[in-house]
Amino acid sequence: MCGRFAVTLPPDAMAQLFSAVPGNDLPPVPNYNVCPTNQIHVVRSDDGQRRLGAMRWGFLPHWYKATNAGPLLINARAETIAEKPAFKAACRERRCLIPATGFYEWTKDEGGARLPWYIRPAGEGPLVFAGVWQDWERDGEAYRTCAIVTCGANAQMSAIHHRMPVILAPEDWGKWLGEEGRGAATLMAPAPEGALTFFRVGTEVNSNRASGAQLIEPLSP
């Protein structure tokens, strides 16, 4: 799964990277502790034009009568996304890109304590997660919401967690956004072995109120 991530790329650099028109509602960066229900940076395609805007991380199906009317859907499983009632229409019609600098996962020690790991690209550049989005409105509340698509972990990542975000290469961004015809389903696979690197970080990030660049600093040996 993916339950927390970091993003440090400035909005103007994101807009340039994705050839997208930036919105005026973008959340501040850097943010080293992006949490569910936060507003996050998302790229979608609108009539052939890519747009960089803000969305609530936590997909709200249209039948939810309130934001807390059901489970918090921050992830969508690649294996079932095309059939699940919450996601199947979005999978066909409303796919998006979610940029990140890295993300967190947790293991446990023998006493059950949660030990955070930070996962980032092995090379240069950001991570770009596959996502789906949905507009939701009820009783005067309106949100544009999204979820990160996840798949089974590759061998490298399975040492930490059995799931991982679907990470898209630049040549696949247009296909995922629906700009290049069919074939998006083929992209929902684990990242190649060696594409990511990871290391232990301090337990401060276990709190969703923690902030600052120190959250992604490797623990001293």
pLDDT at 124: 87
In a domain, 143, yes or no: yes
Assess if residue 221 is contained within a domain.
no
The confidence score (pLDDT) of residue 183 equals: 86
Q: Are 38 and 110 in contact (CB under 8 A)?
A: no
Percent of the chain with pLDDT over 90: 91
Q: Looking at 2, 91, 96, 146, which residue is catalytic? A: 2
Q: Provide the β-strand partners of residue 116.
A: 106
Q: Closest Cα partner for 108 from 119, 97, 117?
A: 117
CATH code: domain of residue 52: 3.90.1680.10
| 105 carries an active-site annotation | yes
* Residue 47 located in a structural domain: yes
Half-sphere exposure of residue 119: CA atoms within 13 angstroms, side-chain side? 28
Number of domains in the chain: 1
> What is the pLDDT averaged over residues 107-122?
94
pLDDT at 2: 84
Cα 178 to Cα 78: distance, rounded to the nearest angstrom: 17
User: What does the pLDDT read at residue 220?
Assistant: 80
Catalytic residue among 91, 96, 105, 146: 105
171 is catalytic: no
Average pLDDT, the chain: 96
Candidates 188, 198, 142, 193; CA nearest to 165 is 188
Domain carrying residue 172: 5-216
Question: What is the average per-residue pLDDT within 104-123?
Answer: 95
Stretch 196-218: mean pLDDT:
97
Quick check: 60 pLDDT over 90? Answer: yes
What pLDDT, in 10s, does the model give residues 149-201? 999 999 999 999 999 999 999 999 999 999 988 889 999 999 999 999 999 99
